Structures are given as C-alpha cells and as structure tokens.
Amino acid sequence: MIDILQLLIFGIVLGGIIALGAVGVSLLFGILRFAHFAHGDMMTLGAYLAFAFVAGLGWPLLAAFPLAVLLTVGVAVLIDQVLYRRLRRKAPVILLFSSFGVALMLRAIIELVWGPDTVVYDSAIQLPWRIAGLRIKPDHVTIVIGAIVLVTALHLFLQRTRTGKAMRAMADEPDLAQVTGINTERVVIWTWIIGSALAAAAGIFLALDTRLVPLLGWNLLLPVFAAAILGGIGRPYGAIFGGLVIGISTEMSTLAIAPVYKPAVAFTIILIMLIWRPTGLLRGR
C-alpha cells in the first residue's frame, strides 16, 4: 500500500506538469485548429530561460519564474506574428509542418546558447520529508501548489473575464464568434499568451523535478498530446483531467512493467481513445 501511495504522489506531480502543457495544446488546437508540435520546445525554452537567471545571475527560482514565463510568451507571440499569422488561411497541415520547423529551430538555438549537457537548477542534495512512510520532496509540493494556482487562475480567466468568454466562444463556433463582433485576432494573441505561459511553467516544473536537457519538452510532448486527446481536444478542462490521468497511469504502470516502458502508456491511451472515443471524454473536436 505504501508503494501504491508513493506512486500516486509521483503521478499527481507528473500529472500536474502534463496538465499545464496539455491545456496550452488544447487551447491552441481549439482556436487555431492545428496541432502545435513546437509546444514541447516552448516548455524547454521556458525552463532554460529560468536557468539563465538562476545560474547566470544567482536569482532564486521564485524570482526567475515570472520573468522566464514573460520572455517565453514574448517569443511565442513573435513567432505567431512573423510566421503562423501568414499561414492561418492555409491548410492545417501546412501549419503543422511549420510547427515542426519551429521546434527544430528552438531546439538548435537552445543547444547553441546553453549546450547539450545536462544541468540542474540547484546542485544541493534535497532530503525528502518522511510522512507515514512516504517520501515527499519539497520540490514536489512546490510543483503541485504551483499547478493548482495556475489552473485556478486559468479557470477564473475563462469564466470571469470578457476575453476568456470570447476564447470559449471562438473555440466552440469560430465563424459565429466572428459574426457577433468578437475580435478574433485579439483572441488568437491571448491564446498564445496563455498557452506559452503554461508551457513555460510546465517546463520549469519538469526541470525542477528532473534535470534540464535540450530534449526536456520534446520527451514530454507525447504525454501532453495524450492528455489533450483524452480530455477532448479543444477542451481545457478536459486537458487538466487528462493530464492527471496520464501522469498517474504512467507512474502506476511501473507496478506491472519496467520503468523504461512508461512512455508506452501515453501512446497506448492515445490509441484506445482514438478507437473508442475520438472526441475525448468531454467531446472535443
């Protein structure tokens, strides 16, 4: 039982990180109608920008976090205005392949600036807390609390603000939203702001939990898309639920399979959902 509870804790931590990334993917697909395969590398970029302030300037991670998120948002909006905006009227597959190119460019820039070596935010050994036989790292508490705060802020934004309501309307019926006078270009920019901010936060949390490498976000891209598909693509609340399911399922799978096969869990869930219910649990697109 202790082992199961310990894996459950690890799964909730991983699920929170995946959920943050999946919400961004789901929002972008729901409003822009294409799968953004550079999302994982946006996560990596956010993590490395935070590392630049922590390692280069000696800032605490808490101070580096908001600035890294803001810089990642700036990069995402710039890429959209320079590249994606010109391709929005093209077939979705054009946008999809262009996002592959953006992913490769971001990864190359990251390796040129910071190198291919593995780094960490803090090299000090962190002793876990022991509660009722369970090992809980302080970083895990930080990640879970941070994910809850960001998800709550997203919920309030979507439900209470005019822009959030416009985003939900455009995700449901983009043509009707435009006819009713919604500024679709403004909604698109806000979508990039929210999606890239959550991606940066997910990348920082993942690097805090593991280690920082140029393939950090790319390695998590499959579970992120699995969570978005499971919850219903285009449904941010479904993505949150899907992220928790993927994270817990991935960690719990080690009870039956070797840890090296954990990535196959997300792939299996994608296959099952596409066969059984392609629209996801919350009936997305």
Q: What is the pLDDT of residues 221-242, one digit of tens each?
A: 999 998 998 888 778 888 999 9
For 45, 79, 270, the CA distances from 21, given in Å and listed in that order, are 13, 18, 16
* 14-72 confidence digits (pLDDT tens): 999 999 999 999 988 888 888 899 999 999 999 999 999 998 888 999 999 999 999 99
Please state, in angstroms and rounded to a whole number, the distance separating the CA atoms of residues 103 and 94. Answer: 14
Q: Residue 173: pLDDT above 80? A: no
Question: Who's near 192: CB < 8 A, 6+ residues apart?
Answer: 28, 73, 76, 77, 80
Question: Who's near 216: CB < 8 A, 6+ residues apart?
Answer: 43, 44, 47, 203, 206, 207, 210
Q: Residue 192: pLDDT above 90? A: yes
Dihedral (CA of 19, 20, 22, 27) sign:
positive
Q: Contact, 234 vs 30, CB < 8 A?
A: yes
Per-residue confidence (pLDDT) for residue 285, from 0 to 100: 57
Q: Contact, 35 vs 267, CB < 8 A?
A: no
Q: Residue 248: pLDDT above 90? A: yes
Under the banding of pLDDT at 50, 70 and 90, the label for residue 153 is very high
Residue 134's DSSP bridge partners are 131
Per-residue confidence (pLDDT) for residue 275, from 0 to 100: 82
Residue type, 175: D
Average pLDDT over residues 163-169: 84
Per-residue confidence (pLDDT) for residue 100, from 0 to 100: 92
Q: Residue 102: pLDDT above 90? A: yes
Q: Residue 206: pLDDT above 60? A: yes
Tell me the pTM.
Answer: 0.92
Per-residue confidence (pLDDT) for residue 175, from 0 to 100: 67
Per-residue confidence (pLDDT) for residue 218, from 0 to 100: 92
Q: Residue 255: pLDDT above 80? A: yes
| Fold that domain 2-116+131-276 belongs to in CATH | ABC transporter involved in vitamin B12 uptake, BtuC (1.10.3470)
Average pLDDT over residues 154-177: 82
